[in-house]
Amino acid sequence: MSRVCELTGKGPMSGNNISHANNKTRRRFLPNLNEVTLISDVLGQSFQLRVSAAGLRTVDHRGGLDAFLAKASDDELSANALKIKKAIAKAQAAA
Give the model confidence (pLDDT) of 28-42 as tens digits.
999 999 999 999 999
Q: Total structural domains in the chain?
A: 1
Mean pLDDT throughout 52-61?
97
Is 20 contained in some domain? yes
Is 64 contained in some domain? yes
Is 4 contained in some domain? no
In this model, does residue 74 exceed pLDDT 80?
yes
Is 33 contained in some domain? yes
Using left for φ > 0, alpha for ψ between -120 and 50, and beta otherwise, residue 86 falls in alpha
pTM of the predicted structure, to 2 decimals: 0.88
Is 69 contained in some domain? yes
Looking only at the bridges linking them, the beta strands covering 24-29 and 13-18 are antiparallel
**Structural domain of 82:** 13-94
Residue 70 near residue 78, CB atoms below 8 Å: no
- Helix (H) or strand (E) holding 39, with range, is strand 33-40
Residue 88 near residue 69, CB atoms below 8 Å: yes
CATH at 80:
2.30.170.40
